[in-house]
Structure 1
Amino acid sequence: MADESRPTDPFAGFFDMQGEAMRELWGQFAPQGAPVAKDWGEIAGWTDTAQKMQAMWLEFMGEKARAAQAAPAMMDPTQFMLMSQGWAKAAQDGMAMQARLAEEGMKLWQGVLGGAMAGGESAPDLPRKDRRFSDPAWRSHPAFALLHQTYLMLAEYFVSAAQAIEGVDPEKKEQLTFATKVALEAMSPDNFLATNPVVLQRTIETRGANLVKGLQHLINDLRRGQLTHTDADAFRLGENIATTPGKVVHEGPLYQLIQYSPTTETVAETPLVIFPPWINRFYILDLTPKKSFIKWAVDQGLTVFVTSWKSADASMKDVVWDDYIRAEIEAIDVIRDRLGVKAVHTIGYCVAGTTLAAALAILARRKEADKVASATFFTAQVDFEKAGELKHFIDEGQLEMIGNLSKEGFLDGRYMAATFNMLRGRDLIWNYVVNNYLLGEDYPAFDLLHWNGDVTNLPAKWHGDYLRDLYRGNKLVVPDAMEADGTPIDLTRIETPIYIQAGREDHIAPAESVWRMTRHVRGDTTFVLAGSGHIAGVVNHPDAGKYQYWTGDSAAPSLEKFVEGATEHPGSWWPHWRKWLEARGGKQVSATGKRKPGGKGDKVIEDAPGRYVKTR
């Protein structure tokens, strides 16, 4: 009689069959010299492996069943990721094979199998290269060589077919192409045990221990509803990341304001306030001391402040964009009052830069523009016409889905993390599926990946309005089409000196989109194009000696024309920005009094990095 207390699971018999199937497959296709299990009866460990995996899975399924009985079912972020990719299948179903594809396929078969039949020790010369298949095991046996080469050939065909469809709106064609790429990445043969010779070899060598370990990784990720990229115990806020000394000097419902302790005897009179995006934690700008922009800026003789935004909860269900604009203006005023200065330098990163542009326009309309001495924008967009791949996630159906996931007034940050991971699925999803689930490798200790997984929740009203009004409606660049805090927004009123940094390989805020800010403001504008993308293009300490940046004519009619006449410089753009800021004037003052937060008579709230960055 069946045990009714155990959950019904279609995987229940799966693990019992894996050892024999893998042994037979590996026996046929293993590279010469690879270890092969010849007699199942001789390897008692395989039975133990299968039983462990089955027990782990059934225990997890039991947890899920009990949780479903205790609370209403709700889609978790992993399901959201799969649903967001599911519509890609329709893109492939309508693609019929063409004569060109058949002909190329025949040539591929003849080339790979012909080379194998000809003999010789060297692997065949394959027409397509891809780092997913760089291990020699993919070339040492014709079956695996043919498998991955066929996949690469079909992938090229499906993408080109999507791009060649006629009579379709260009935006829809881009969505179709993106969806096709997402689906193809998911179907790559390296993502599956039975079609990945590297995983098969590891499985034989370890007698399946890699699969047991990988299954535990998978179950842990399913429990937390988020893909793990790094060792969760390797980093601790305030101990080995976010360690630049400072104090929380002001606190509101949306943010804490941190002031960092000076490291020079004198500092520039005009302080600097950084507005990082509230989609992520602020310490991307304060990772380790060797990477920290904040520490570097402090060491450059600047009095540095940063806003640490609160991760949204149900109490923030009515928060809208106006509240973040007011928060940035408030922080500027708090700093001016605290240090007794007329103006501050500002930095806005990503969405906080978009917000800073709106705040500058409002200050200009209110004739208070002199509160801001300069504004720097890290990969920030104001014109969303060319906003890139994120626009594939904002059709009405997807916005409705997001709304359904935000019933308590905030969007769980894991959904945003899943979306950003999908934009680079090969690197941020499938690479980890292979390494952590199939190969059973340990997670690396990588500070940037730790930050990437340290998600923040978003106020649902703000998020919905932002996607509709800016990404879809592109209203911010239309004078007075939007207002905040009772004041119409007109970017053409901004005359504040502006420094704009874009990443050449940025897939979140494409360089062309960031460039367009130069066309919508009046003030003196300096544009710099940095090597790499949305994060590495910004967080590039000069001591690392990495990447490059380009300077040129910021008044050029297009980014293309800027690039044509630009001058390339090796290394980080940070020193170039520091010279630009220094040229904006301002004298030096002693780093005493409230320039040293927490000194005698200075009331502060707590040590940096503060409580808000630690809330989940």
Structure 2
Amino acid sequence: MLPHPERLASGWLGIPYREHHPLDDGTKDLDRILMAAVGRLTGGISPIALWMAYIDWVTHLQLSPSKQHELLIDGWQKMAKWQGYAYDAMRHTGTTMEPCVAPLPQDKRFADPAWQQWPFNVMYQGFLMSQQWWHRATTGISGVSKHHEDVVTFTARQLLDMLSPSNFASKNPVVINEAIRSQGQNFIRGAANAASDWLHDLASKPHDHAFKVGETLAATPGKVIFRNRLIELIQYAPTSSTVHTTPVLIVPAWIMKFYILDLSPHNSLARYLVEQGHSVFMISWKNPDAVDRDLTMDDYRTLGIMDAVEAICKATQSPALHAVGYCLGGTLLSIAAATMARDGDHRLASMTLFASQVDFKEPGELSLFIDESQVALLEALMWEQGYLDSRQMAGAFQMLRSNDLIWSRRLNHYLLGLPEKVTDLMAWNMDTTRMPYRMHIQYLRDLFLHNDLAEGRYSVNGQPIALSDIRVPVFSVGTITDHVAPWRSTYKIHLLTDTEVTYCLTSGGHNAGVVSPPSHPNRQYQISRHMPTDPYINPEDWHRTTPSQEGSWWPAWESWLSSQSPKRQTPPSMPPGMCDAPGTYVFQR
């Protein structure tokens, strides 16, 4: 057998030879430096990925004369229809015209009655027709990969949204009317808002608002009873005369701070569970920095979930606990549960997943930012920094909902000069975190790109794990408008486990759908239980046939949780703890 070429080189040149880990290959340092420089210029978006998608689309479009003919005819028809509408609108100025195109239900840009007056009705109708044409131009072309089609369609939508007449003061009747009414004061207020935002961004400080962590947010009384280099474990103080004997561990995502599940007192899930007689423990993750660059997914499992399980069972003398995971925390919890099942660890009594994916074949619009080129660029950025910066993550999420998070805010805050009304959920969303280099690359490659967990290739301690080994009852929650973990993706838990699954689909999105206290109005949910011996029902049939119920899903889940632990006892005494909740890690910037 011939020696490895690098071994020969080490002998000839006197260079010490070492085996290379894929993430630590020193020969790629120059590549990463160059790619990181590109990433800084492009805001973390791979221009190569965009170019490949464009080439795939444009070349296949050139090879599709029938599609070109279809688009040409459609363009002429839309132009003629729009011209006819413009002519009638000019003739009937002051009357409301029947629109040629109705905005999508979620598109609120043209909802104000002022848009129905000439010439603004002509402007926005022409814009919506253009949007329709471009959607047709970027979809349904034979030969284009689904991923590239999605990227091109998304990019076209982003570019068109930038050009929407609602974004320009001279074309937006709402802005014009406000400028007339206030004698231009809206622009002065908007300039002050812009300056304030710029100064806060420059100082890298959170905005001032009425919500303060430990006072109005994350204010449920409790103690930090355990701490290691990655987590603080909070035990909340009981408020009822008796509590369920089996404690509850909540594993939030570490993409953001834990207190989305302990917001204001009226919509705190932690407080709600305590009031219902549960002994509740919450993980608060450290906000990692460059020193933590080499933390792995398995470090998050062991230092996070497993250390918390050990601490809770020791503190409560309970042989088992109910584990709850939210978003990425639910994915990690599923990995931990499958590992525990494989290794004969029976300390889980049940598992609950909030908007959590275990199969990443259909991860929703986030997949637009996940391919080999994009991951390589992110890897280079994180390798250089030691972590993924919160701004780089925030940019991707804002682009997914650009109308709500970028353009609508720009209109209200800068053009109309309105003060920003910060809610507790918005305050939490401003409190961003980082992601350590090695962990996030493993997450993107092993789960998003390769789907190793769902397909049985994900290894823990050198041995693969299988979600089908999980035998404890599972409660899974999906949210109907989730753009991070689409509900049809979370529904796949039925296919991947061999246990009792109670599935609940609730109104709202990834965050607002989960933060759904009983006092919240206009909420609905669907729920059903599936036993291992029951035949599989596909998500569309399940959604169509499962009755809808009014109200919050929290009481339904709490009832299920209580049924898994029917015995009650006197609350155990609270330990002195290391400090009061919400601890110290939550304040890390």
Please give the range of the TM-score, normalised by the shorter of the 2 chains.
0.7 to 0.9
Task: Give yes or no for the alignment of 1:112 onto 2:92.
Answer: no
Equivalent position of 1:441 in the other structure: 418
Residue 330 of structure 1 aligns with an amino acid whose one-letter code is D
Work out the CA distance in 1 between the residues paired with 2:41 and 2:577. Answer: 38
Identity %: 35
- Asked whether the 8 Å contact 1:362–1:487 carries over to 2, the reply is no
- Asked whether the 8 Å contact 2:127–2:164 carries over to 1, the reply is yes
C-alpha deviation, 1:408, in angstroms:
2.3
Moved more, 161-170 or 337-346: 161-170
Equivalent position of 1:159 in the other structure: 135
Equivalent position of 1:581 in the other structure: 561
Residue 165 of structure 2 aligns with an amino acid whose one-letter code is P
Cα gap change, 1:168/1:311 in structure 2, threshold over 3 Å: closer, same or farther?
A: same
Equivalent position of 2:578 in the other structure: 605
Work out the CA distance in 2 between the residues paired with 1:528 and 1:134. Answer: 32
Cα gap change, 1:517/1:432 in structure 2, threshold over 3 Å: closer, same or farther?
A: same
- Asked whether the 8 Å contact 1:231–1:445 carries over to 2, the reply is no
C-alpha deviation, 1:566, in angstroms:
1.0
Q: Deviation per CA, 1:465-524, whole angstroms, max 9, x where unpaired?
A: 111111110000122x12234443221211111111111221110111101112111222
Cα gap change, 1:525/1:135 in structure 2, threshold over 3 Å: closer, same or farther?
A: closer
C-alpha deviation, 1:93, in angstroms:
8.4
- Asked whether the 8 Å contact 2:53–2:151 carries over to 1, the reply is no
Equivalent position of 1:101 in the other structure: 75
Work out the CA distance in 1 between the residues paired with 2:353 and 2:101. Answer: 40
Task: Give yes or no for the alignment of 1:498 onto 2:471.
Answer: no
- Partner of 1:348, secondary structure, is strand
C-alpha deviation, 1:133, in angstroms:
1.4
Query: Of the candidates 550, 553, 569, which is equivalent to residue 570 of structure 1?
Result: 550
Cα gap change, 1:183/1:90 in structure 2, threshold over 3 Å: closer, same or farther?
A: farther
- Asked whether the 8 Å contact 1:231–1:446 carries over to 2, the reply is no
Equivalent position of 2:210 in the other structure: 234
Residue 437 of structure 2 aligns with an amino acid whose one-letter code is A
C-alpha deviation, 1:350, in angstroms:
0.7
Work out the CA distance in 2 between the residues paired with 1:416 and 1:256. Answer: 24
- Asked whether the 8 Å contact 2:44–2:378 carries over to 1, the reply is no
Equivalent position of 2:99 in the other structure: 126
Residue 121 of structure 2 aligns with an amino acid whose one-letter code is A
Work out the CA distance in 2 between the residues paired with 1:497 and 1:82. Answer: 42
C-alpha deviation, 1:220, in angstroms:
4.4
- Asked whether the 8 Å contact 2:46–2:377 carries over to 1, the reply is no
Residue 578 of structure 1 aligns with an amino acid whose one-letter code is E
- Partner of 2:335, secondary structure, is helix
C-alpha deviation, 1:224, in angstroms:
5.2
Work out the CA distance in 2 between the residues paired with 1:519 and 1:496. Answer: 15
- Asked whether the 8 Å contact 2:242–2:570 carries over to 1, the reply is yes
Residue 568 of structure 1 aligns with an amino acid whose one-letter code is S
Superposition pairs of residues 443-458 of structure 1, within 5 angstroms: 443-458=420-435
Superposition pairs of residues 365-404 of structure 1, within 5 angstroms: 365-368=342-345, 370-404=346-380
Work out the CA distance in 1 between the residues paired with 2:37 and 2:473. Answer: 52
- Asked whether the 8 Å contact 1:291–1:541 carries over to 2, the reply is yes
C-alpha deviation, 1:136, in angstroms:
3.0
Task: Give yes or no for the alignment of 1:354 onto 2:331.
Answer: yes
Superposition pairs of residues 147-546 of structure 1, within 5 angstroms: 147-222=123-198, 232-326=208-302, 327-368=304-345, 370-406=346-382, 407-479=384-456, 481-546=457-522
Cα gap change, 1:84/1:175 in structure 2, threshold over 3 Å: closer, same or farther?
A: same
Cα gap change, 1:78/1:191 in structure 2, threshold over 3 Å: closer, same or farther?
A: farther
Work out the CA distance in 2 between the residues paired with 1:423 and 1:82. Answer: 16
- Partner of 1:552, secondary structure, is strand
Q: Deviation per CA, 1:234-262, whole angstroms, max 9, x where unpaired?
A: 21111111111111111111111001011
Cα gap change, 1:100/1:507 in structure 2, threshold over 3 Å: closer, same or farther?
A: same
- Partner of 1:549, secondary structure, is strand
Work out the CA distance in 2 between the residues paired with 1:203 and 1:473. Answer: 53
Work out the CA distance in 2 between the residues paired with 1:77 and 1:416. Answer: 15
- Partner of 1:232, secondary structure, is coil
C-alpha deviation, 1:461, in angstroms:
1.3
- Asked whether the 8 Å contact 1:354–1:381 carries over to 2, the reply is yes
- Partner of 1:609, secondary structure, is coil
- Partner of 1:405, secondary structure, is helix
Structure 1: any 5+ residue segments left out of the alignment?
Answer: 1-71
C-alpha deviation, 1:443, in angstroms:
0.9
Work out the CA distance in 2 between the residues paired with 1:223 and 1:138. Answer: 34
C-alpha deviation, 1:445, in angstroms:
2.6
Cα gap change, 1:178/1:308 in structure 2, threshold over 3 Å: closer, same or farther?
A: same
- Asked whether the 8 Å contact 2:517–2:552 carries over to 1, the reply is yes
- Partner of 2:324, secondary structure, is strand
- Partner of 1:306, secondary structure, is strand
- Partner of 2:249, secondary structure, is strand
- Asked whether the 8 Å contact 1:365–1:493 carries over to 2, the reply is yes
Equivalent position of 2:570 in the other structure: 590
C-alpha deviation, 1:182, in angstroms:
2.2
Work out the CA distance in 1 between the residues paired with 2:174 and 2:43. Answer: 28
- Asked whether the 8 Å contact 2:75–2:133 carries over to 1, the reply is yes
Cα gap change, 1:408/1:290 in structure 2, threshold over 3 Å: closer, same or farther?
A: same
Residue 323 of structure 1 aligns with an amino acid whose one-letter code is D
Q: Deviation per CA, 1:66-107, whole angstroms, max 9, x where unpaired?
A: xxxxxx999779945797998699599898761222222222
Moved more, 557-566 or 284-293: 557-566
Work out the CA distance in 1 between the residues paired with 2:368 and 2:565. Answer: 43
Equivalent position of 2:30 in the other structure: none
- Partner of 1:527, secondary structure, is strand
- Asked whether the 8 Å contact 1:494–1:522 carries over to 2, the reply is yes
Residue 311 of structure 2 aligns with an amino acid whose one-letter code is V
C-alpha deviation, 1:114, in angstroms:
2.3
Q: Deviation per CA, 1:132-185, whole angstroms, max 9, x where unpaired?
A: 11223323232x221111000000110122112221112222222222222222
Residue 551 of structure 2 aligns with an amino acid whose one-letter code is G
Q: CA RMSD in A?
A: 2.8
Moved more, 123-132 or 285-294: 123-132
Residue 549 of structure 2 aligns with an amino acid whose one-letter code is H
Cα gap change, 1:575/1:261 in structure 2, threshold over 3 Å: closer, same or farther?
A: same
Work out the CA distance in 2 between the residues paired with 1:206 and 1:476. Answer: 58
Structure 2: any 5+ residue segments left out of the alignment?
Answer: 1-35, 62-67
Cα gap change, 1:335/1:391 in structure 2, threshold over 3 Å: closer, same or farther?
A: same
TM-score (norm 2): 0.85
Cα gap change, 1:85/1:138 in structure 2, threshold over 3 Å: closer, same or farther?
A: farther
- Partner of 2:505, secondary structure, is strand
C-alpha deviation, 1:302, in angstroms:
0.1
C-alpha deviation, 1:437, in angstroms:
1.9
Moved more, 100-109 or 145-154: 100-109
C-alpha deviation, 1:449, in angstroms:
1.1
C-alpha deviation, 1:447, in angstroms:
1.1
Work out the CA distance in 1 between the residues paired with 2:171 and 2:51. Answer: 25
- Partner of 1:500, secondary structure, is strand
Moved more, 268-277 or 417-426: 417-426
Work out the CA distance in 1 between the residues paired with 2:139 and 2:331. Answer: 31
Work out the CA distance in 1 between the residues paired with 2:45 and 2:197. Answer: 13
- Asked whether the 8 Å contact 1:528–1:550 carries over to 2, the reply is yes
- Asked whether the 8 Å contact 2:43–2:392 carries over to 1, the reply is no
Cα gap change, 1:435/1:84 in structure 2, threshold over 3 Å: closer, same or farther?
A: farther
Work out the CA distance in 2 between the residues paired with 1:613 and 1:283. Answer: 8
